[in-house]
Structure 1
Amino acid sequence: MMKTLTFCAAFTVLLCATISVGKVSDTAPHSSDQGMSAAQKRIIALSPHLTEIVFALGEGHNLVGVSDYSDYPQAAKSIPRLASYQGANIPAILRLKPSHVLYWEGGNKDADIAKMRASSLHLYASSVDSVDSLIADIENIAKFIEADQEIAQALIETLSDNLKRASEFKTPIDAIYVMNPLPLMVLGNDPWLNDLLSICSLQNVFFSSLSPYPQLGIERILRSKAKLIIYAQNKASNEAQSTLDSVNKSVSSELRARQIQIPDEFSEHKEHILAPFIQANPDKLHRFTPRAIEEMTKVCELAYTINYDVQS
């Protein structure tokens, strides 16, 4: 997995880590035993997914610094940047005198983490590689930053409801997750995305690949027995829906719009591609945030409205 700080929600960068549960990683004294007032909170989030989680917990107004590519929600864009792919700006972090610093274990540089620890900052290490570990991470972050318990509980309940809805779909469907068309790159053995797919029994055809994101020739797609192709793109599709007869007429217009025509990059082979394409938003799925679960639920709902007998 990646060990340097890399940020963005495009297919080229997945926010992946190696440990399943985040943890408080400092030994510095802190006032959390008595509780901290909102005016005292000065939170720094050193990864886009952490920025987003802090906002989701209702604590975005207490953020005084974030990382590059912290672009959601909109309010995050105006917060000072303290970290990039080159590393964290430790002097700037110290000048801000933060009460809480959240970093990504597996994403932020070990040397930067060591410097922050040596400065006795109150640190939290976020580590996520599955849906279960994301839920645990959110719960732990809520405790660490002393978020409003009702807001935190409501968020967890919403995520649990989405997961329950998606998990009702149990019939396995062999699928290919296209991360990039040119060069053709698909999902391989990356644990985060495969765990998301497994919520509703979508089975990645290339799960056993030696690479998290293998680059393939189109012939591998054509030879596969995939029933569904999930196409990662973060723009809304204005194209007409393909194989409309295969979609349940009761499905919402939002979901119907996600079933797209064969993309131009595959048009040369369209006569040989029988599997339908549906759209997934990588900006949501590729980050360890509540939006990933929300987006995956929508993908699951659409995947199971398709009549795959029509494709055969």
Structure 2
Amino acid sequence: MLRCALGFLISVFMTQAHAITVTDDSGASVTLTKPAERVVSLAPHVTELLFAAGGGARIVGAVTYSDYPKEAQAIPRVGDNKALDLERIVALHPDLIVVWRHGNAARQMDRLQALGIPIYFSEPKHLDDIAASIGKLGALLGTQTSAQAASNAFTRDIAQLRARYAQRPPVSVFYQVWDDPLMTLNRDNVFDEVIGLCGGVNVFAEEKPRVPTISTEAVLAANPEAIVTATPGATKPERTLPALDRWKRWPALTAVSRGNLFGIDGDLINRPTPRLALGAAELCRDLDAAREKRPK
């Protein structure tokens, strides 16, 4: 009897000793007794982060638009950001669910949490958070070596861009998230940091909320030197950008008069993943082009 009890205590101790605990982007602790082997991803950026961390083969379910890398397109779908197939998720027997804190429906999140499956909330708000997220997911997956390599590579790429561009003459930037209604981003998001990385200044950084609706008159008053928007998916920007054509009605607007209307692949700038370094590099080149167009 004593031997059995001792064996049980040793087993409990070993389980606790090998438990994995990380802090997610909501500030909550996520603990696993062993590395996750069956993961459900509930946001496209989460799928990319899991692959970057070396855990792509362990994703058993993902949401619509989880399309990168190519292998992600074959993962079974469990809904989208607006509606999740909870029965399908349960049937997949995941030992970890990674969700987008502000992207997935709050009511369904409550139901997911009631299942008792460990949940990691992902919402990187800063460039450093992306590198940290890769490392944390790697810890939960037991793929620390691959995760650390990807995290280091992203950190290096961002550091190189910052060293090259951050101290160049500032360029005022209006980032157009949507054209009807007209929407932008304030400083409380990762793309504002990318603008600063490139030596740009977000003209609506102080607006509220995070994605404020603004007026045409406000943009005209700000008179940005460059206007940037996201182009759909992985398509290359066309010579004419329909979403930005509206501004050509005001030829005196600096961004228009100097031809500084730029489109960047939305997948590279809207998802907080390692590919954001590619989007940042493209924005930096665009802002450099704007500097070159200044009157001598």
**Range of TM-score over shorter length:** 0.7 to 0.9
1:156-204 Cα shifts (integer Å, max 9, x gaps): 1221121112212213322111223344333334423212222233210
Q: How many residues align?
A: 265
- Name the CA shift for 1:221/1:274 in 2 (closer, same or farther; >3 Å): farther
CA offset at residue 299 of structure 1?
1.0
Indicate conservation of the 8 Å contact 2:179/2:243, yes or no.
no
Where in structure 2 are the equivalents of 1:241-280 lying within 5 Å? 263-272=244-253, 273-275=256-258, 276-280=260-264
In our comparison, the structure showing a higher alpha carbon Rg is 2
Matched residues in 1 for 2:63 and 2:243: separation?
A: 36
- Name the CA shift for 1:206/1:308 in 2 (closer, same or farther; >3 Å): farther
- The one-letter code sitting in structure 1 at the alignment partner of 2:278 is E
- The one-letter code sitting in structure 2 at the alignment partner of 1:137 is S
Counterpart in 2 of 1:127?
A: 123
> What are structure 2's unaligned runs of at least 5 residues?
1-23
2:160 to 161, 165, 172: 165
- What is the SS of the residue equivalent to 2:78? strand
Where in structure 2 are the equivalents of 1:181-200 lying within 5 Å? 181-200=179-198
Matched residues in 2 for 1:239 and 1:126: separation?
A: 35
Matched residues in 1 for 2:133 and 2:185: separation?
A: 24
Matched residues in 1 for 2:181 and 2:78: separation?
A: 33
- What is the SS of the residue equivalent to 1:231? strand
- Name the CA shift for 1:139/1:268 in 2 (closer, same or farther; >3 Å): same
- What is the SS of the residue equivalent to 2:138? helix
1:77-113 Cα shifts (integer Å, max 9, x gaps): 2322223344433322222111322122233344444
Where in structure 2 are the equivalents of 1:121-160 lying within 5 Å? 121-147=117-143, 149-160=144-155
Matched residues in 1 for 2:243 and 2:122: separation?
A: 38
- What is the SS of the residue equivalent to 1:83? coil
- What is the SS of the residue equivalent to 1:72? coil
CA offset at residue 210 of structure 1?
2.1
Indicate conservation of the 8 Å contact 1:187/1:212, yes or no.
yes
2:96 to 86, 95, 100: 100
> What are structure 1's unaligned runs of at least 5 residues?
1-18, 241-259
Where in structure 2 are the equivalents of 1:68-107 lying within 5 Å? 68-107=64-103
C-alpha RMSD over aligned residues:
2.9
Matched residues in 2 for 1:238 and 1:117: separation?
A: 44
Indicate conservation of the 8 Å contact 2:228/2:263, yes or no.
yes
Indicate conservation of the 8 Å contact 1:102/1:123, yes or no.
yes
CA offset at residue 22 of structure 1?
6.4
- Name the CA shift for 1:271/1:30 in 2 (closer, same or farther; >3 Å): same
Length-normalised TM-score, structure 1: 0.73
Indicate conservation of the 8 Å contact 1:82/1:92, yes or no.
yes
Length-normalised TM-score, structure 2: 0.77
- The structure, 1 or 2, with the larger RCO (C-alpha pairs under 8 Å, 6+ apart) is 1
Matched residues in 2 for 1:176 and 1:233: separation?
A: 15
- Name the CA shift for 1:143/1:204 in 2 (closer, same or farther; >3 Å): same
CA offset at residue 266 of structure 1?
2.4
- The one-letter code sitting in structure 2 at the alignment partner of 1:57 is A
